[in-house]
A and B are shown apart, each in its own frame.
Chain A
């Protein structure tokens, strides 16, 4: 059973860079036709897709965030990471890492981590 776990600071200052890491267990980030994905959810609001990385390293980002987002993968550690630059209060959200499968359905989710942007 694939499990994902987010880690990183829970508080980030405005204009700085948000950095999160997702550690995968029970499966490999370098195998299979999967999209290793980040999704976020502002408090009390709906889900927003941030982007994904394929095991080959190719990426796809939400156009509304594209200029600020970088997703990378570290196959040696079986992890993938999210960086979001120049954050504002609007980036405050629960951030989920996840695995999307053949039809882009998100079959596996991390528990989520709340990141608050505040000085």
Chain B
């Protein structure tokens, strides 16, 4: 089955840039989505189709996808960005199903 690997944690100072990676075999050939989940809340879609932002999501959130790594970048990090972040793809390599990454906890120092 297809596996998406994320770093367990990323720490960043306010105003700096956080980069969260999502590794998968030839992930660049797939469409990647990203979610933010604050404690006790449902996830929120922050990036879809590799790099598009839903309405209401700040421009500080951006995405890229190439080769074996997709990346979510959060610029000018704010305290409110502290949350868990998950990547997701639709996998057709072995069977047709949604696969979520292992998740990354972003801590704002």
Contacts and interface: CB of A to CB of B under 8 A. Distances in A.
Q: Could you say which interface size class chain B belongs to? A: 20 to 34
A89 interface: no
Contacts of B88: 47, 104-106
B58 interface: no
Q: Could you say which interface size class chain A belongs to? A: 20 to 34
B33 A104 contact: yes
A95 to B, nearest CB: 11
A59 to B, nearest CB: 11
B95 A103 contact: no
Contact of A105 (B45, B96, B102): B45
B29 interface: no
Contacts of B15: none
Nearest to A96: B42
A109 B103 contact: no
Interface string A47-60: 11100000000001
A62 B54 contact: no
A42 interface: no
A46 B86 contact: yes
11 contacts: A47-B35, A48-B100, A49-B97, A49-B100, A60-B96, A60-B97, A103-B33, A103-B48, A103-B90, A104-B31, A107-B48
Nearest 6 pairs between A and B by C-beta? Answer: A49-B98, A105-B48, A109-B42, A104-B90, A47-B100, A105-B33
